[in-house]
Amino acid sequence: MWMIFQQSGIQLFDREGNPQLTSRDLKAFLTKWFRWRDNGVFGSWDWGNFGALLITGVYAAYTSPDWWVVMINAATEDGTYEWRVRDLPLYPGGNGCRTSAWGGSFLAVPRTVTDRDFIFKVIEYMQYGNPNIAVERYETSGMLAPIPAAWEDPVFHQPDPRFDGQSLGELQVRLAPESPGQNMADCYWDTIGDLNEQYTEIIQGNVSIDDALQLVQKKAVERLADTRRGFRPRNK
């Protein structure tokens, strides 16, 4: 859901970092999503059996971050089905993005560091300062680093035998500038965790979409107030 949600253009927080979880647009998206789910359009994301479900054809397609494309490997080796890769279909009324993002990993500068500028420069070099690192990262993990200078390397333009010679790298490079963004806030990932919990509660029929969003909004407002006062309780 998360990758398609980002195509909708809906923001969980406004530009000032204030939560807006009870917006009409978010409710409409979730209502549509659960209708799709109930109709069998989307199946459950089975981490442990993902590759096997592709081999047997239970999964006919999947949205994928760059690092998860490898899950198709066993199915292409099995050869029962042929596979292709494409951009995401446009979400009606959304932001026009034909791609999305899972989330991302990152390095951060701790507040306790005394020379933050120096540490930031070290991190910047490790992540973005050497185009060769970007090429190696793609070769070993399939992850597309946000370093356009590296994208001219031949590794990003090779035909991919898994997809009958389509160039996965060229597709990813072409779509990278369209990656959608989300407004960040101090309690953003806490709120995502709350949404995940309520998602399960909705599926189990324990709570309505309205009540779930009201609860997540309430928690986000409380966390944000604590943070702005300089106090952030753990596991609240």
Digits of tens for pLDDT over the chain (236 positions)? 999 999 999 999 999 999 999 999 999 999 999 999 999 888 889 999 999 999 999 999 999 999 999 999 999 999 999 999 999 999 999 999 999 998 766 788 988 999 999 999 998 888 888 888 899 999 999 999 988 989 999 999 999 999 999 999 999 999 999 999 999 988 999 999 999 999 999 999 999 999 999 999 999 999 999 887 775 555 54
Q: Are residues 153 and 205 in the same domain?
A: no
Q: Answer yes or no: is 61 within a domain.
A: yes
Q: 54: which residues sit within 8 A by CB, 6+ positions away?
A: 62, 71, 72, 74, 75
> What's the pLDDT at 140?
93
- Give the pLDDT score at 106: 76
Q: How many domains does one find in the chain?
A: 2
Please report how the helices 24-38 and 188-203 are oriented relative to each other, as an axis angle in degrees rounded to 10: 40
> At how many degrees (to 10) do helices 209-228 and 24-38 cross?
130
Same domain, 196 and 222: yes
CA angle, 202 as apex, 53 and 12 as ends, to 5°?
95
pLDDT at 111: 86
Q: Are residues 193 and 87 in the same domain?
A: yes
Q: What are the backbone dihedrals phi and psi of residue 76, each rounded to the nearest 5 degrees, phi first?
A: -70, -35
Per-residue confidence (pLDDT) for residue 231, from 0 to 100:
58
Q: In this structure, is residue 108 part of a structural domain?
A: no
Residue 169 lies in a domain: no
pLDDT at 13: 97
pLDDT (0 to 100) of residue 26: 97
- What pLDDT sits at residue 234? 53
**pLDDT confidence of residue 130:** 83
Residue 107 domain flag: no
Q: Whose CA is closest to 188, among 111, 84, 104?
A: 104
Domain of 86, CATH number, reads 3.40.190
For residues 128, 130, 134, 136, the Cα torsion angle rounded to the nearest 10 degrees is: -150
Per the structure, the complete domain to which residue 128 belongs is given by 116-157
Residue 233 has a pLDDT of 53
Q: According to the model, what pLDDT value does residue 227 have? A: 82
Residues 135, 209, single domain; the answer is: no
pLDDT recorded at residue 85: 98
Do 38 and 151 lie in one domain? The reply is no
